[in-house]
Every structure is written in structure tokens, then in C-alpha cells.
């Protein structure tokens, strides 16, 4: 029998704590580690060159007065950019826009894929594999093309309003042109891309042991009780994963308003999302340092939100394999 690649000759005593000083590798393990690092080195180089170093650079920028055209000499400005951020109504307005859209989109982005996955997982659904393919197909359509198609679908004479008129709504909303309906309109466009979320949810549903449902049925649980007491708790890690991705996605929301509104913020500033404002600050307004400061604010918000969600997840997310 081949010698097993012993990772550590000294056992790690406390779970979750590594005693690096006592880690001793066998020659074989060291060779394998070297090969492993060699294999992942392209990624590490890419990470350092295109993520870590630019992040560090942008952090440094926040304390300088850099602009793209740089007429004044570069100088250290301390926390001036952060102070300016605090008093910039455009920044907070764009953040409010992002949060308003998040309030509509996040529930939709979690519930819709879950419900669709439930439907696809139903034994009563005929042609589920075809439906699965159909639901996933929009995900592979380039999002810009999808957004432009939806711009027509949600137009005054588009399919949605034609259907609403057919149903008796004589004066349906101008979805993407009306300050009241623009967020529901954008949420409808985003639903176009939920195919991947459906597949993830479906995989999660198929992974729930059938014994749990059998036991629930023996206890007299109906469809609703099974959903509430078996499916949702067992799916909670998937729903949590969807939530985290959704939060990050919504904080980065940019492409659709840029494509549909050309970054104008129309109608009435309701599509001036934070990321769009950030992009304009960098390139249109040519303010590197201030743009970098805005980027770090976004990073801080994303990090804080994620940490809070992870903290809360201890109470609401059930990991069956957790010890």
C-alpha cells in the first residue's frame, strides 16, 4: 500500500485552530504542496495583480487628490474625500435608489427561483426537463440583449401592457418611464435571469432526504406543513446562499440602467444607482480619488451587510451536516 500523504505528524488539537508552528510535512506532502501552489499560481498572480493590488491602490487613492486629468500636483489630503462623501447628497440619493430597488428585488430574487424550483420538482408537472431548459435558457442570453428586449416588452405598447389592457386595465403604467413603476419594471427585467437560481434551488430540493417527507406525512403533515417544517428548513442554506449573492448583486446593480437609460438616471433620478454614480464619478467626472472613496464605501456596506447576515444565519439557517 502506498504511503499516505501525511499532512501533519502532530495532530491539530483544537478544532478550527491551526498551530502553524507545529505543522510538519513529510517530503511527499511538501512536494505535493509545491505542485499544488504551482497549479494555482496563475490564479494567485491574477488575484494579486487584478484584485488585491488594485484594491490596495484604491485605498491609497482615497487619501490623495488624484484625477484623470490631474492639473494640480498630487498631494495627501487626509480624510477630505471621506468628509466630502458624508456631505454629498448625490451619493446618498444614489444609495437610497439602490436600497429602494433592493427592497423590491431581494424578496423577488429569493422567492421566485424557489417557487419555480418547487414547481419543477413537483411530480405532477409534465415535461419538467423541458421546462427546466426553458427556464434556464434566458440565463445564457447576453444580459444587454435581454435588457433591450425587455425595454420593448415593458413599453407602452409592449406585451405586458397589451396583456394588462386585455385584462381590463385601460391605462397601464409606463413601466420604465414612470417614477412609481420603474423599480417593479426593473425587477421584472431581472427575473429574466433567475434561471441559474432555479437550478441551484432545484438541486437543493432534490437533495432533501425523502425519509423526512415520509416521516412528516406519517405525522399527518399536509403539503403546507411539509413545506414549512421540512422543505424550507432543509433549503435554508440554499436560500441563504441566494440571499448573499442577491445582496452583492443588487449593490453592484449597474448594467440595466446604463443600457436602458444611458446612465441619465431617468426618470427623475430613480435609476441613478450607486454603482452608476460611482462609474460616472470615475470616468465622466474624472475624479479618481473620490471615486475610489465611493468604491470603498460600497465595499464597507457589502462587507457589513454580509457579516450581519452571516451572524443572523446562525439562528435561521439549518445545516444538516453541521456538528
Partner 1 sequence: MASRPSRVLALVTSAVLVAAACGPNAAPATTGAGPSSGPPATAASSAPPVQSFHVPDFEAAALRWYCCLGTGEDPAQKPTEDQVAADFATKYPGSTLKLEITTYDSAVDVLSTQIGANPPDIAGPVGIGGLASFKGQWTDLTPYLTQSGYDLGVYDPATVEFFKQDGAQIGVPFDLYPSMLWYKRDAFDEANLEEPPHEFEAKYTMADGSEVDWNYDTLREVAMKLTVDKNGKDATEAGFDPKSIEQWGFEPQRDVLAGMGAFWGAGTLVGSDGKTVEIPEPWKDAWKFVYDGVWKDHFIMTEAQFLDPKVANNDQAFNSGKVAMGENFLWITYGVAGAGSDWDLAAIPSHNGTVTAPLNADTFAILKNSKHQDAAFAAMAYLLQDRSDDLLPLYGGMPARSEEQDAFLDQLAQTEDFPEDVDWQVAKDAIEYADIPNFEAPMPVYNKSLKILETYRSRWMTTPGLDLDQQIEALRAELQAAWDAG
Binding site for partner 1 (CB under 8 A): 68-71, 84, 87-90, 152, 155-157, 171, 174, 177-179, 262, 264-269, 272, 280, 283-286
Q: Using the minimum distance from each CB to partner 1, give the nearer residue, 109 or 281.
A: 281
Residue closer to partner 1 by CB (options 113, 185) is: 185
If you write DSSP's letter for every residue of 200-262 in order, what string do you get?
Answer: HHHHHHHTS-HHHHHHHHHTT--HHHHIIIIIHHHHHHHHHHHHHHHHHHHHT--HHHHHHHT
For the bound state, the minimum distance from the C-beta of residue 214 to partner 1, rounded and expressed in Å, comes to: 56
The minimum distance between CB 71 and partner 1, in angstroms, equals: 6
Nearer to partner 1, 135 or 154 (CB): 154
Distances in Å between the alpha carbon of 66 and those of 60, 275, 282? 10, 20, 10
Question: Which residue number, 268 or 300, has a Cβ lying nearer to partner 1?
Answer: 268
**CA proximity to 260, closest of 107, 118, 153:** 153
Nearest alpha-carbon partner for 120 in 112, 111, 109, 129: 129
Q: Report in angstroms how near the CB of residue 89 gets to partner 1 at its nearest.
A: 6
Which of these, 242, 261, 254, lies nearest to 199 by C-alpha position?
A: 242
Closer to partner 1 by Cβ: residue 45 or 68: 68
What's the closest the beta carbon of residue 231 comes to partner 1, in angstroms?
Answer: 43
Cα distances (angstroms) measured from residue 13 to each of 21, 29, 116, 202, 323: 13, 20, 46, 39, 17
Task: Tell me the β-bridge partners of 64.
Answer: 76
Cβ–Cβ < 8 Å for 204, 198? no
Residues in Cβ contact with 130 at an 8 Å cutoff, skipping those fewer than 6 apart: none
Residue closest to 300 by CA, chosen among 95, 97, 49: 95
CB 252 → partner 1: shortest distance, Å?
A: 18
Pick between residue 97 and residue 135 the one whose CB is nearest to partner 1: 97
CB of 148 to partner 1, least distance (A): 12
d(CA 242, CA 102) in angstroms, rounded, equals 14
Least distance in angstroms from the C-beta of 192 to partner 1: 20
134 vs 143, 145, 201, CA distance in Å?
16, 17, 16
Least distance from partner 1 to the Cβ atom of residue 193, Å = 24
Give whichever of 237 and 267 is closer to partner 1, judged by the CB atom. Answer: 267
Q: Which is nearer to partner 1, 109 or 287 (CB)?
A: 287
80: its cell numbers: 477630505
Amino acid at each position: 500500500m502506498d504511503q499516505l500523504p501525511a499532512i501533519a505528524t502532530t495532530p491539530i488539537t483544537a478544532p478550527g485552530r491551526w498551530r502553524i508552528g507545529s505543522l510538519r510535512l513529510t517530503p511527499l506532502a511538501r512536494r505535493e504542496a509545491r505542485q499544488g501552489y504551482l497549479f494555482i499560481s496563475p490564479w494567485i498572480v491574477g488575484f494579486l495583480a487584478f484584485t488585491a493590488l488594485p484594491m490596495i491602490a484604491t485605498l491609497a487613492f482615497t487619501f490623495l487628490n488624484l484625477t484623470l486629468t490631474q492639473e494640480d500636483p498630487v498631494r495627501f489630503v487626509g480624510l477630505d474625500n471621506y468628509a466630502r462623501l458624508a456631505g454629498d447628497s448625490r451619493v446618498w440619493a444614489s444609495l437610497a435608489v439602490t436600497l429602494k430597488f433592493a427592497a423590491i428585488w431581494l424578496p423577488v430574487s429569493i422567492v421566485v427561483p424557489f417557487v419555480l424550483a418547487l414547481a419543477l420538482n413537483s411530480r405532477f408537472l409534465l415535461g419538467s426537463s423541458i421546462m427546466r431548459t426553458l427556464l434556464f435558457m434566458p440565463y445564457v442570453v447576453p444580459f444587454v440583449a435581454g435588457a433591450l428586449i425587455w425595454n420593448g416588452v415593458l413599453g407602452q405598447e409592449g406585451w405586458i401592457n397589451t396583456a394588462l389592457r386585455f385584462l381590463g386595465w385601460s391605462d397601464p403604467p409606463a413601466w420604465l418611464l414612470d417614477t412609481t413603476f420603474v423599480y417593479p419594471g426593473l425587477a421584472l427585467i431581472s427575473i429574466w435571469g433567475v434561471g441559474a437560481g432555479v437550478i441551484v434551488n432545484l438541486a437543493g430540493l432534490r437533495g432533501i432526504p425523502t425519509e423526512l417527507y415520509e416521516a412528516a406525512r406519517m405525522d399527518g403533515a399536509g403539503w403546507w406543513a411539509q413545506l414549512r417544517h421540512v422543505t424550507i428548513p432543509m433549503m435554508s442554506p440554499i436560500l441563504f446562499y441566494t440571499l448573499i449573492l442577491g445582496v452583492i448583486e443588487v449593490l453592484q446593480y449597474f448594467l440595466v440602467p446604463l443600457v436602458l437609460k444611458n446612465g441619465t438616471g431617468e426618470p427623475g433620478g430613480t435609476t441613478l444607482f450607486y454603482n452608476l454614480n460611482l462609474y460616472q464619478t470615475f470616468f465622466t467626472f474624472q475624479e479618481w480619488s473620490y471615486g475610489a472613496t465611493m468604491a470603498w464605501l460600497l465595499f464597507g456596506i457589502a462587507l457589513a451587510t454580509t457579516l450581519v447576515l452571516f451572524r443572523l444565519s446562525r439562528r435561521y439557517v439549518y445545516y444538516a451536516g453541521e456538528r
